[in-house]
Amino acid sequence: MHTILRKQFLAHVGQTSPSPMLVEVARAEGSFFYTPEGKRYYDLVAGVSVSNVGHANPAVVRAVQEQAARYMHIMVYGELIESPQVAYAARIAAALPDPLESIYFVNSGAEAVEGALKLAKRFTGRTELISMRRAYHGSTHGAMSMMGAPEGEEWKGAFRPLLPDVRAIEFNDFDALQAVTRRTAAVLVEPVQGEAGVRLPAAGWLEALRKRCDQTGALLIFDEIQTGLGRTGRLFAMQKYGVTPDIVCLAKAFGGGMPLGAFISSKKIMDTLQSEPVLGHITTFGGHPVCCAAGLAAYDYLIGNGIVEQVEEKGALYESLLRDHPQVREIRRSGLLLAVELGSSEKLYRIMELFKEAGILSDWFLFCDKAFRISPPLTISDEEVRDSAQLIRTCLDRL
């Protein structure tokens, strides 16, 4: 590690935690990244579910290079016809169930959530917004407001006042759905709760939520920022659970490694951003042509190589290789999104140190400090799953 670089990193790159990992990245390829000294790390975070098609995927690199040479940014979103945007929008619209057909491209997950909340308020003329306890939707003021209380209070408390008229209900609680009323503009939910430590929806709960929204006229917004683009074993988690929302938010893997997000609805709903007043949401860089070209190339790679179809098997392989270790209390899993529960935060701190030594990048969850994350590139091979699981077991042995 270059000492000067480390000093400059600490001095000049805004810090968000008192103990950053401080591992320098020289390059990345497939399921790995490498330090300048040549130490190899298994990337079991994938940029937090971003690098679904693997690092330095040649198809994505080529698309970025070609589009960068053709044109980059020209004019704010929504005025000019830019073929990478149009082609990607058409592809995604065709893959999503009806009536999710109109795609508003933005820069990030948080901005997708902001756009979706504004759209729901505009379309319904209502103000109340409902989210779930232990939900994470992003770090801007609006998205942070939806971080479910009381757990989210630790982060959002310091930034109040936030959005008014927001309340949180318990994920998977059927009775709590009565809180959704004719006052409610939207209910925002991750179909599989990520930062809660991978919590799966109870049988029938998403359907019951859909039904309650239909009864009351509230819009149902799915945050598929982490679950979208194959992570759970289907292209979108909504297909896995057979429930179609009114609006879906995408980001993370949506840009193929470049920053890109979207909120998506029927044309009827989306068109309310056109008038009274015009320009209901404005973004300079949203839908950047290079990001759309990268996202489209990554999407075509996922589909063209049957990657999504292999996700469930690979996730199950990880589970089978780890579940019998005496340190593992429980594994919660949806496709290749796994939370491995160790039972205490002390063990979690220690395993992170051991992982670093062993060349494994993992992470914990915002609302679950007793479990570590496994969410590798979806292109990880069976052999890499076996090898990384063996490395994890060696670290677990040393706990």
Ligand X SMILES: Cc1ncc(COP(=O)(O)O)c(C=O)c1O
The least distance separating ligand X from the CB of residue 191, rounded to whole angstroms, comes to 10
In the complex, least distance from residue 252 CB atom to ligand X, rounded to whole angstroms: 6
CB of 278 to ligand X, least distance (A): 26
Measured CA angle at 97 (ends 180, 99), to 5 deg: 65
* Between 135 and 389, CB nearer to ligand X: 135
Q: Quick count: other Cβ atoms within 10 Å of Cβ 115? A: 27
- Nearest-5° angle of CA 269, CA 231, CA 82? 50
Among residues 108 and 216, whose Cβ is nearest to ligand X?
Answer: 108
* Nearer residue to ligand X within complex by CB, 262 or 270: 262
The β-bridge partners of 103 are: 264
Which is nearer to ligand X, 136 or 263 (by Cβ)? 136
- Alpha-carbon distance of 193 to 124, in angstroms, equals 26
Tell me the backbone φ, ψ of residue 282, rounded to 5 degrees: -125, 140
Name the site residues for ligand X (rule: CB under 6 A).
Answer: 48, 108-110, 113, 136-138, 190, 194, 223, 225-226, 251
| 48 vs 352, beta carbon nearer ligand X | 48
Kindly state the DSSP code that residue 140 receives in the 8-state scheme. Answer: S
- CB of residue 32 vs ligand X: minimum separation in angstroms? 22
Q: Which is nearer to ligand X, 258 or 395 (CB)?
A: 258
* Number of neighbours of residue 328 by Cβ within 10 angstroms: 18
In the complex, minimum distance from the CB of residue 325 to ligand X, in angstroms, rounded to a whole number: 27
CA distance 316 to 338: 10
Contact 134, 160 (CB under 8 A): no
Residue 374 DSSP symbol: E
Which helix H or strand E contains 326, and what residues bound it? none
Question: Which residue's Cβ lies closest to ligand X?
Answer: 109
Q: How far is the CB of 136 from ligand X (least distance, A)?
A: 5
